[in-house]
Amino acid sequence: QDGSVTGIVTDSDGVPLPGASVVVKGTSTGTQTDFDGNFAINADSNATLIFSYVGFATQEIPVNAQSSINVSLMADAAALDEVVVLGYATQTRGDLTGAVSSVDISEATKAPIVNAAEALEGRVSGVSVVNNAQPGGAPTVRIRGFGTSNSNNPLYIIDGIQTDDPSILNSINPADIDQMNVLKDGAAAIYGARASNGVVIITTKGGGYYMDKPRVSLEMYTGFSRAQNLPDLLNPQQFGDVIWESLQNDGVPIEHPQFGNGPTPVVPSQLQGVPASVTVRPEGTKWLEELYRTAVTSNISATIQNGTESGKYLLSMGYLNRQGIQLGTGFKRGATRLNSEFKISDRITVGQHLNISFSNTKGDGTSRVQGAMIINPLIPVYDDDGEFAGTYLAGAQLGNSRNPVAQTLRSADDYRKSLRVFGDVYAQLQILDGLSFKTSIGGDIQAYNDRRFQPLDPENAESRASAQLDEEDFDRYEWVWNNTLNYNKSFGEHSINALVGIEALSFRRRGKDIRRTDFLFETPDFYLLSTGTGTPIVDDGYDEQSSLFSIFGTANYSYADKYLLTATVRRDKSSRFRGDNQSDIFPSFSAGWVVSNEDFFPQDALVSRLKLYGSWGQLGNQSLPSDNPTVNISELGETFANYSFDGGNSIRTGAFLSQVGNPDLRWETSESTNIGVEFGLFDNKLSLNAEYFDIVTKDLISRDNSLISTTAIDAEAPLVNLGSFKNTGMDLSIGYQNTTKGGFSYGIQANISHYKNEVTELISDFQIGWPDFRGGAVTRTAVGQPLSSFFGRVVEGIFATEAEVSAHADQGFENPADGIGRFKYTDVNGDGSINDDDRTFIGSPHPDFTYGVNFNFAYKGFDLSAFFAGSQGNDIYNYTKIFTDMPSFSNTQRSVRVLDSWRPDNLDATIPRLSFAVPNNETQPNSFFVEDGSFMRLKNLQIGYTLPDSIVNKLGLDTLRFYVQGSNLFTITGYDGIDPELGPRDNGNDNLTIGVDNQQYPLAAIYTLGLNLNF
């Protein structure tokens, strides 16, 4: 019997939801709510109504002969029955048995982020994200510590496209993201060989079926960013005083071309002895302030979504322009997306995702911070004629640093452009009730080119003789085809969801890098390889290929929503390995028990939900810095292998071995165990989730530098299966959300993560990190220690007297007086003399824990959110101090810390006695450079105001919100360097060298004003 049902649809706070869709299940009858959330629909008394609204969990409610139904929809992220996309399949959140975390995207995208990975930072337990402050740089994402010694990048799945290239995240408009889920444990086994670093699954919005009209949302912000926490450097008088004191201590005549030869240094008004007229600023040049600027940032994105009963789509466009704080740098991106899906018949659904983005990164990608920190403060940016000033000639003793402002401005016409198109088309066929087949073909195509021009720089003591142009370009093609068969059926209390599939993936990248010198014109119009006159040099030409073929299956079984079981298996075959090592099988099992669904569980207890779950799985890692690591490769080498046998200009071509292959290379395998518990209290207003994990990585793939040692060829060390290590840890997250009767809503979400990394097995006693720091490697990886521990001498203090020098172990001073004011090292091996054998482990870059806390408040139209993140207990090797605190170069700028150097009247000094030389191995790795890197940072603070409906509706809009926002407003840290949040070395490909601060790009505080508008 037909009847009319009416009601009101609201969100969980009771705010009416206009335009929500109401459909009678199994029919095409549907309607939408009006501006006040009211609906009226004709439905059988035994029908079921489906209520849906973008961003909220869909609800089904049986009519049960009611004439009035009021529905409160839950925001997606909070819903237990929210559908979580896990790659090939989906699962409802309540049924998960693995370690899967989701980002609250709407909260995360409140900050003006460029790159989607920034949304993960501090918001997901067990995931650490380090922002790359350079415009257009990709952040570094690490899931549950360091699982490997080479690339630790997680696998990114974006609507079916797979890649471990984090730069793909630069191509997505964060506003398009619907869900962002992170698989941290055995649950990732469905991605087998590529999953050991975790999997980040991003799905984009796609509109909704049964919408009444197109919905448009518009987001805009504009603002500015400024460098933060710039270090204090010497002013010219202090700088001269430091030179005077150094000369005095060295016992050499006290004179200097700039500061004269008097009893005290005299700051010149003009640079002395240089071939230009250059006025010295009395207060000196504050180079860091000259190098950085207040940079404008702006963003606009618009999204349209709509859907009928047979089709839906989303179309979005976005444009971002972020100037870099370093002069002459910036990042611009235009992106557009079209997602659509159509129901061709009751059984067939087809759809597609397409993302096209174009980005342009300005500048040569070099951070000039180190140059700006060490350039002499007497040198101004420009000379009196408006030309760049510099070091001119060695005799002027102005140091060796090139004018960093000149460098960055001269490269302002350099660019890196990338056009990237990726997406997929898919079709789904309902074969039988519960049985469906899906096929999907995805592609990812990138065209990249860059230009780097180096003009003449006559103001430098060592100036370029000819201008040089470098151009590089590459094309990248990746396709993936997968076919899956899915069976999803419930029998009474039993519910089965199973899937089998096959997948093929192919990757290819081809490119070249060409260089030419001798350009007659230095204007960008002539920055073409054809306008140079030197012989062109092909620096590089490459063609990389790899492929992967896989079969996989997974089955989920649940009984009465109480007992949950999942089993997954995947077999991968990779082109990167040989013979029996090509393929491997990765299984995982997990189980959950929803205790609160048991009959015996008290229904109205404090604890409203309790779930225990655990998983075990094996995961692989095949992401390597080489596509064919198993074979030897020799190269023809214009730069390194050619030779002229007659000493004249008939050069003959030669070759050298550039890669040593290891035919026995195997997968890296991680065995991951996860145990978790989930609590919901006070009607799930308070949720708590705790997980313990243990990940053992075996057959760790790494370059074995000990195998190749230093007595080898000029190839890099071969990749070998180096050993094993273990990460154990805890992830804890807690959330509380409540709304008072007065309409005040508040919440807190916090997460804290801890891991302990330990090397359990190595094929050699130890491995050293990157050896090319001044003074050699600063990190060492050894059994029983965490990966990449700092290794060096231990500084006990500074010698004050000859007697103290004589009484201590022999440090090699010619006579005891030479030791006064110098570092005193611990005699670690107790043999009475200090040498290389007295080095030991002096710190660990691994934190005790990392955390993130988000607060949000809302009252009436106002909302406020504040997000803090931090790290506790990690050490940083402040390598930059080699330049700012030590006389590694003469006449270069220093930190004000050197004012606290050792003098007879300053015995508790932190810096050794000043000198022009570096005696006593003081810049070689030692504990002076190791600092506590703990910090807490206010990452985001935002205040918004949403206009009341009464006003908005008159404007013909649905919602209108304004906000002001600030990112990185303050940091609490004891760390001396520019930023304790360190980026990785070598794009994260070198995990044997972590936690070393070298040329960190300073963090920018960003202030923006924005609006969100929907109609």
Reference 141, options 85, 184, 87; nearest CA is: 184
Instruction: Find the DSSP H helices in 380-534.
Output: 404-410
Residue 712 Cβ, how far from other proteins at the closest point, in Å? 4
Query: Is residue 705 close enough to count as binding other proteins by CB under 8 A?
Result: yes
The CB density around residue 954, as the number of other CB atoms within 10 Å, is: 8
> Within 105-124, which residues bind other proteins (CB under 8 A)?
none
- DSSP string covering 441-458: EEEEEEEEEEEEEE---T
Residue 165 Cβ, how far from other proteins at the closest point, in Å? 24
Query: Is residue 817 close enough to count as binding other proteins by CB under 8 A?
Result: no
Query: Is residue 222 close enough to count as binding other proteins by CB under 8 A?
Result: no
The region of 119-127, 203-211, 219-227, 392-400 touching other proteins under the rule CB under 8 A is 392-400
Residue 880 Cβ, how far from other proteins at the closest point, in Å? 17
Query: Is residue 463 close enough to count as binding other proteins by CB under 8 A?
Result: yes
Binding track, positions 256-275, relative to other proteins; x by CB under 8 A: -x------------------
Residues 648, 857: Cα–Cα separation, whole Å = 77
Query: Is residue 404 close enough to count as binding other proteins by CB under 8 A?
Result: no
Which residues face 44 on adjacent strands?
Answer: 2
Residue 879 Cβ, how far from other proteins at the closest point, in Å? 14
Residue of 231, 311, 511, 534 interacting with other proteins (CB under 8 A)? 534
Nearer to other proteins, 707 or 809 (CB): 707
Phi-psi region of 912 (alpha: psi -120 to 50; beta: other; left: phi over 0): beta
Residue 882 Cβ, how far from other proteins at the closest point, in Å? 11
> Within 713-742, which residues bind other proteins (CB under 8 A)?
713-716, 718
Residue 665 Cβ, how far from other proteins at the closest point, in Å? 13
Residues 161, 507: Cα–Cα separation, whole Å = 12
Residue 706 Cβ, how far from other proteins at the closest point, in Å? 5
Query: Is residue 523 close enough to count as binding other proteins by CB under 8 A?
Result: no
Residue whose entry in the numeric block shows the structure tokens 């990114």: 156
Binding track, positions 351-390, relative to other proteins; x by CB under 8 A: ----------------------------------------
Query: Is residue 831 close enough to count as binding other proteins by CB under 8 A?
Result: no
- With a CB cutoff of 8 Å and minimum separation 6, the contacts of 541 are 511, 512, 513
The torsion angle over the Cα atoms of residues 205, 211, 212 and 213, rounded to 10 degrees, is 20
Query: Is residue 710 close enough to count as binding other proteins by CB under 8 A?
Result: yes
DSSP designation for 311: E
- With a CB cutoff of 8 Å and minimum separation 6, the contacts of 744 are 857, 858, 859
The region of 47-55, 563-571, 735-743, 776-784 touching other proteins under the rule CB under 8 A is 776-784
What tokens does 526 get? 């002539």
> Within 34-63, which residues bind other proteins (CB under 8 A)?
none
Nearer to other proteins, 11 or 810 (CB): 810
The region of 248-256, 263-271, 600-608, 693-701 touching other proteins under the rule CB under 8 A is 248-256
DSSP designation for 970: E
Residue 544 Cβ, how far from other proteins at the closest point, in Å? 15
Provide Rg for the chain, Cα atoms. 31
Binding track, positions 496-515, relative to other proteins; x by CB under 8 A: -------------------x
Nearer to other proteins, 602 or 832 (CB): 832
Residue whose entry in the numeric block shows the structure tokens 């087809």: 350
Instruction: Specify the amino acid at residue 519.
Output: F
The region of 45-53, 699-707, 947-955, 963-971 touching other proteins under the rule CB under 8 A is 699-707
Query: Is residue 711 close enough to count as binding other proteins by CB under 8 A?
Result: yes
Query: Is residue 530 close enough to count as binding other proteins by CB under 8 A?
Result: no
**Mode of pairing for the β-strands spanning 583-594 and 849-859:** unpaired
> Within 624-643, which residues bind other proteins (CB under 8 A)?
631-643
Nearer to other proteins, 601 or 813 (CB): 813
How far apart are the two ends of the chain, measured CA to CA in Å?
37
Q: How far is CA 828 from the centre of its chain?
A: 38
Query: Is residue 466 close enough to count as binding other proteins by CB under 8 A?
Result: yes
The region of 320-328, 545-553, 769-777, 934-942 touching other proteins under the rule CB under 8 A is 769-777
Binding track, positions 130-169, relative to other proteins; x by CB under 8 A: ----------------------------------------
Distances (CA, A) of 602 to 599, 679, 974: 8, 14, 49
Nearer to other proteins, 502 or 712 (CB): 712
Residue of 26, 251, 386, 492 interacting with other proteins (CB under 8 A)? 251
Distances (CA, A) of 437 to 369, 502, 921: 55, 12, 67
Nearer to other proteins, 421 or 657 (CB): 657
What tokens does 953 get? 């509706």
Query: Is residue 536 close enough to count as binding other proteins by CB under 8 A?
Result: yes
Residues 732, 756: Cα–Cα separation, whole Å = 15
- With a CB cutoff of 8 Å and minimum separation 6, the contacts of 383 are 276, 277, 278, 279, 389, 459
Nearer to other proteins, 491 or 643 (CB): 643
Query: Is residue 249 close enough to count as binding other proteins by CB under 8 A?
Result: no
Phi-psi region of 766 (alpha: psi -120 to 50; beta: other; left: phi over 0): beta
Residue of 774, 806, 862, 951 interacting with other proteins (CB under 8 A)? 774
Three-class DSSP category at 248: helix
Query: Is residue 924 close enough to count as binding other proteins by CB under 8 A?
Result: yes
DSSP designation for 413: T
Which residues face 204 on adjacent strands?
Answer: 177
Residue of 11, 34, 178, 250 interacting with other proteins (CB under 8 A)? 250
Residues 21, 213: Cα–Cα separation, whole Å = 11
Binding residues for other proteins, total number by CB under 8 A = 92
Contact 560, 599 (CB under 8 A): no
